[in-house]
Structure 1
């Protein structure tokens, strides 16, 4: 109840409220050992942030090698981490250097690996 009284979860209407909500999230996470109430409260705040960002901060439309690079960076992956999906490392580097295109099978495998829709992501 203390969390709710100090910072009641409300729809985020502007960047100032977004920043305040994000600061509250970080404050709770930084405390360390979280209770189930903390986790539930963070989940609600996270949904509010997600909803605001979905409507006000659209993600850039990345495709092909650009998307693959971004996903690899986000997941801290190196080209050799994708050998089982894309073949040998030189084939991966050719894709990342725009010298080669992803095949339909590779797109399906990558979409499955990164939990994305193949049609909306790599094609």
Structure 2
């Protein structure tokens, strides 16, 4: 038997929990409580969708509020995206057109230029600003 997503059930969950962008610590705590409850039970497809939505909202809030002074590190972000995507340095070399350029960026010897940031961002389908300091 294949389970199917029921939009009406999901709608009822959304009405019950009213998830929205988290702006305060109290809202974050409330969302964490709901996630904690959902985490420890066998979830329906609709509950799993709500769970994933809340986790995304919590992560966004926590990144903005718990790490505001953290220095943006474009090289680390680049290495993370390479690893996370399963792509290789040679894939990136094809994008930038130079092994030397990639090696210098990865080793922190040179900063990513605005043009390189645009190319890399298009390659990973992310915002170019994550590659600038």
TM-score, shorter chain, exceeding 0.5: yes
- 1:104 deviates by 3.2
Residues 38 and 51 in structure 2, CA contact (< 8 A), matched pair in contact too:
yes
Which position in structure 1 is the counterpart of 2:79? Answer: 69
Unpaired segments of 5 or more residues in structure 2? 1-8
Which position in structure 2 is the counterpart of 1:81? Answer: 91
Match status 1:104 vs 2:122: no
Residues 22 and 49 in structure 1, CA contact (< 8 A), matched pair in contact too:
no
Counterpart-to-counterpart distance in 1, 2:88 and 2:110: 18
Residue from 25, 38, 51 that aligns with 2:47? 38
**TM-score calculated relative to the size of structure 2:** 0.55
Tell me the matched-pair count: 115
Unpaired segments of 5 or more residues in structure 1? none
Cα-Cα RMSD: 3.8
Higher mean alpha-carbon deviation, 47-56 vs 88-97, is at: 47-56
How has the CA–CA distance of structure 1 residues 40 and 121 changed in structure 2, closer, same or farther, with 3 Å as cutoff?
Answer: closer
